[in-house]
């Protein structure tokens, strides 16, 4: 997605060979115009999958997920990373290890929000080692529902999550695919293919 790639090149800060900071439009401050376009793009890519619900994880997945839900005219639910005082019973949980934060979180969703007849589109901001996406897939599976696809805003294709999730057979669509962050430079998968040709 060209507008997203342009935004990453203009505003993204390469913190290391593995971490990209995008706090001007996705992870802290959020760009509503770009989020609207992202929602429309996901809706176009998953529009024929019979999606009935969007599932994401707090907090950075919420903006792209709600925009997609608006376009697909379905509801969106986000998994919580912390136990809520009002959310105690009837929870579906999964354990997610975060390589960036070096901690394990138990994520949870109230079981009343995902039903067996749901076809769920999972949306997240980044795909790195795939643990967040696999945890969300686990929650949908435990609910007895179907995963209709996984939509990722920024995939770091050089980490193993993309392969792990695609190997489950689930359709994965990433709007920007980063081949490398080496030497402080963002290289997209498409540019890399052009270089190789």
Q: Which chain residues interact with ligand 5GP by CB under 6 A? A: 19-22, 27, 60, 98-100, 124-132, 156, 161
CB closer to ligand 5GP out of 143 and 152: 152
CB 27 within 8 A of CB 125: yes
CB closer to ligand 5GP out of 131 and 174: 131
Question: At its nearest, how many Å lie between ligand 5GP and the CB of residue 57?
Answer: 7
10 Å CB burial of residue 119 (0-12, 13-18, 19+) is middle
CB closer to ligand 5GP out of 71 and 156: 156
How many residues are present in the chain? 197
CB 173 within 8 A of CB 45: yes
Q: How many helices (H) and strands (E) does the chain have?
A: 6, 10
What phi and psi values does residue 185 have, to the nearest 5 degrees?
Answer: -120, 135
Question: At its nearest, how many Å lie between ligand 5GP and the CB of residue 151?
Answer: 13
Question: At its nearest, how many Å lie between ligand 5GP and the CB of residue 40?
Answer: 21
CB 139 within 8 A of CB 111: no
CB closer to ligand 5GP out of 31 and 125: 125
Question: At its nearest, how many Å lie between ligand 5GP and the CB of residue 98?
Answer: 6
């Amino acid at each position: 997605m060209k507008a997203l790639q342009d935004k990453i090149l203009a505003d993204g800060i390469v913190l290391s060979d593995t971490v990209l900071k995008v706090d001007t439009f996705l992870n802290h401050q959020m760009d509503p115009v770009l989020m609207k376009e992202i929602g429309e793009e996901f809706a176009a890519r998953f529009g024929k999958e019979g999606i009935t619900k969007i599932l994401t994880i707090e907090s950075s997945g919420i903006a792209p997920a709600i925009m997609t839900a608006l376009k697909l005219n379905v509801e969106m639910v986000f998994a919580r990373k912390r136990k809520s005082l009002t959310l105690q019973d009837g929870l579906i949980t999964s354990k997610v290890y975060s390589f960036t934060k070096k901690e394990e979180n138990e994520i949870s969703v109230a079981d009343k929000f995902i039903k067996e007849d749901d076809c769920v589109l999972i949306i997240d901001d980044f795909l790195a080692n795939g643990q967040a996406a696999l945890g969300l897939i686990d929650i949908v599976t435990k609910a007895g529902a179907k995963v209709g696809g996984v939509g990722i805003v920024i995939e770091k294709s050089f980490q193993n999550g993309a392969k792990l999730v695609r190997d489950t057979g689930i359709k994965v669509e990433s709007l920007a695919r980063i081949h490398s962050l080496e030497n402080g430079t963002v290289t997209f998968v498409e540019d890399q293919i052009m270089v190789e040709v």
